[in-house]
Amino acid sequence: MKINTLSKNMLKTATMLTLFAVLGGGLVTVSFQMTREQIQANERLSLLRNLNEVMSHDRYDNDLFSDVREMTHEALLGTAEPVIIYRARKQGQPVGAIFTSVASDGYSGSIHLLIGVHSDGTLAGVRVVSHQETPGLGDIIDLRKSKWILGFQGRSLNNPNESSWKVRRDGGVFDHLTGATVTPRAVVKAVKNTLVFYQNHREEVFFH
Amino acid sequence: MTYTQILYDGLWKNNTGFVQLLGLCPILAITTTLTNGLGLGIATLLVLIASNVTISLIRNIVPVAVRLPIFVIIIASFVTATEMFVKAFYYDLYLVLGIYLPLIVTNCIIIGRAEAFASKQTVGHALFDGITMGIGFIFALGMLSGLRELFGYGTLFANADLMFGPAAQFLTVTVFENYHGFLLAILPPGAFFGLGLLIAMKKAIDLRVGIK
């Protein structure tokens, strides 16, 4: 008799738990279905907005998302993972490429960059996608905090020449804040390395 | 328990931020600007109302032995749904709040109110408790983030358009022109100092007017 009540109790408990798990799962499923398309559209739009910051949208006429290549080069692109490269073309001709390079030697973790390069090797623009550098010091690389990152626009491996692709403290031409050289140094190095990579692999970037 | 008591408890006497000290993780992490603080506060309020009402509705059919797992399932589902809706309709705000939205699940305010209040009270009381506790939390977040933004950046309501749309840009106030920022207020230690000051202020007011 006692065992009977006990098992009845257990059965009731298990049923209730299952019932609520199913209800909770149902709520999440319904929300997911209702929001999925909107979320995908948001993510795409936000990425496209970022890409257009570093490669102005009147320069190309292809769909960047379907013209993508992944390449791996730890020394120059900053990560052992494959780096996504968006290729911009106008009437089929390559006009530029956007690299999602990483600056791996910042002050605090990886700095993820978007680097737009015109087909002739000049920089169309550079933006920081994410970083964890110190607020107030290292975050001058963030466009919301300072215009520092805009200084790359129009630069190339000949402008300045290769030995001046450094922050001012190291004898180069790029500004930095006193007391915060590590972050700008890492970004300058990553941008330069990406340009070197582009120079060495231009054909592979566009035609594979 | 009267509605007046619940109101007084939620907003002041038992304020989640200043007295119960629940939800310290978001309170300390997200309060760097007023917009962020209010954004998270509103999301928490919505989840708190939904979970309080639901838990009060089912309080008589849930077996005592498994009530906590069931509460957690309910809260986690509401939070996940909230996160998806914010991501779908307030994407820029989502980018700012990021990890702190799913972390509402671990916010002890929600499970605390579920266990201590909603599971023993009528739906009306539970609903009202969710609203007042949530507003109390928004009040705490607002005070702390306003304080930190003012001293840290010299502004109030920076990026308000992220949450309320472009029309809200007029809310942004630059209080100190050419202010170079006070870094400590923005960094994590500033959150502790600020919260400590606010708790002390609340105690001082209570003492002054003679509340125990």
**Does B80 contact A46 at a Cβ distance shorter than 8 Å?**
no
Q: DSSP state, B156?
A: E
- What domain count does chain B have? 1
Residues 6+ apart with CB under 8 A from A162: A192
**B74 shares contact with chain A (CB less than 8 Å):** yes
| DSSP string for residues in chain A | -HHHHHHHHHHHHHHHHHHHHHHHHHHHHHHHHHHHHHHHHHHHHHHHHHHHHHS-TTS--S-GGGSEEEE--HHHHS-SSPEEEEEEEETTEEEEEEE--EETTSSSS-EEEEEEEETTS-EEEEEEEE--PPTTTGGGGSTTT-SGGGGGTT-BTTBS-GGG-SBGGGTSSB--BTTB-HHHHHHHHHHHHHHHHHHHHHHHHH--
Distance CA B55, CA B177 (A): 49
Q: Which of B63, B70, B183 sits opposite A136 (nearest CB)?
A: B183
Position with higher pLDDT, B16 vs A123 = A123
Host H or E run for residue B143: helix B123-153
Chain A positions touching chain B (beta carbons under 8 Å): 9, 12-13, 16-17, 20-21, 23-25, 27-28, 31-32, 34-35, 38-39, 42-43, 46, 135-136
| Mean predicted lDDT score pLDDT of chain A | 89
- What DSSP assignment string belongs to A70-87? EE--HHHHS-SSPEEEEE
Average pLDDT over residues B125-151: 93
> What tens digit of pLDDT does each residue of A69-105 get?
999 999 999 999 999 999 999 998 999 999 999 999 8
* Domain containing residue B154: 3-209
> What is the C-alpha separation between A201 and A117, in angstroms, rounded?
13
| Residue A208's pLDDT band (cuts 50, 70, 90) | confident
Query: What is the pTM (predicted TM-score) of this model?
Result: 0.73
> Does this complex have an ipTM over 0.95?
no
Q: Running DSSP on this structure, what letter comes out for residue B155? A: E
Task: Tell me the chain B residues in contact with residue A17 when contact means C-beta distances shorter than 8 Å.
Answer: 66, 69-70
CB-based contact B63 A24, cutoff 8 Å: no
The pLDDT confidence band at residue A126, using thresholds 50, 70 and 90, is very high
Q: Is the pLDDT of residue B116 over 60?
A: yes
Structure tokens belonging to residue A18: 């299952």
Amino acid at A4: N
Least confident of A36-45, A65-74, A107-116, B11-20: B11-20
Looking at the DSSP bridge assignments, the partners of residue A167 are A174
- Record: contact B81-A135, CB cut-off 8 A: no
- Residue B57's pLDDT is 93
The residue-averaged pLDDT of B103-122 equals 87
Looking at residue B144, what is its pLDDT? 94
Distance CA B123, CA B114 (A): 12
Q: Give the pLDDT band of residue B10 (cuts 50, 70, 90).
A: confident
Assigned token pair, A30: 């319904």
Mind listing the pLDDT tens digit for each residue in B164-209? 666 777 777 887 777 777 888 888 899 999 999 999 999 999 999 8
Banded model confidence at residue A160, pLDDT cuts 50, 70, 90: confident
CB contact under 8 A, B77 and A25: yes
Average pLDDT, stretch B46-73? 91
> Scanning every residue of chain B, which has its alpha carbon at the shortest distance from the alpha carbon of A21?
B73
Choice between B32 and B212, residue whose per-residue pLDDT is larger: B32
- Distance from the A50 Cα atom to the nearest Cα atom in chain B, whole angstroms: 13
Mean pLDDT of B84-106: 81
CA distance, residue B37 to nearest chain A CA (Å): 18
> Is 80 exceeded by the pLDDT of residue B1?
no
Tell whether B78 is within 8 A of chain A (Cβ): yes
User: What is the per-residue pLDDT for A181?
Assistant: 87
pLDDT band at B211 (very low <50, low <70, confident <90, very high): low
pLDDT at B212: 58
* pLDDT band (50, 70, 90) for residue A2: low
CA dihedral (A168, A174, A180, A185) positive or negative:
negative
Band (A154; pLDDT cuts 50, 70, 90) = very high
CB contact under 8 A, B88 and A46: no
**What local confidence, expressed as pLDDT, does residue B45 receive?**
92
